[in-house]
Amino acid sequence: MKTYTITVNGTAYDVTVEEGTGSAAPVAAPKAAPKAAPKAAPKAAPKAAGAGSVKVEASVPGKVLKIEASVGQSVKAGDNIIILEAMKMEIPVVAPQDGTVASIDVAVGAAVENGDVLATMN
């Protein structure tokens, strides 16, 4: 038997090899070097609170039928902000979170497309 020292990724391992005359003896594989845990990705910085830090967008194309909230009004998540008329139905556009309405960016009768900003909140 012979002992060899091998280095894998900076870690030294002693490996013993048995020498035979007819058939090759199995050699025990060295244990793999421990891997370092991956570093966690940095978290995104939170949005700064300020005028219009949260956008309220149209989810369908249509026409503004009614404005339910006013600038400066406190609203809770799920409260109606604007009502759109789309596909002959009234579609409420609701507050995505609790906050205050910072601006209303459309007028009654205005045509809007999917993704258009209708209002902003703080």
Mean pLDDT of the chain: 80
The torsion angles phi and psi of 39, rounded to 5 degrees, stand at -75, 140
Q: What pLDDT, in 10s, does the model give residues 81-106?
A: 999 998 889 999 999 999 999 999 99
> Worst-scoring range by mean pLDDT, 12-21, 43-52, 91-100?
43-52
**87 vs 80: CA distance, rounded Å:** 19
pLDDT, average across residues 34-56: 57
**Residue 48 predicted with pLDDT over 60:** no
Rounded to whole angstroms, the Cα distance separating 83 from 98 reads 18
Contact 82, 118 (CB under 8 A): yes
pLDDT at 69: 94
The pTM of the whole model exceeds 0.85: no
Higher per-residue confidence, 119 vs 45: 119
If one counts every other C-beta atom within 10 angstroms of the C-beta of residue 85, the result is 15
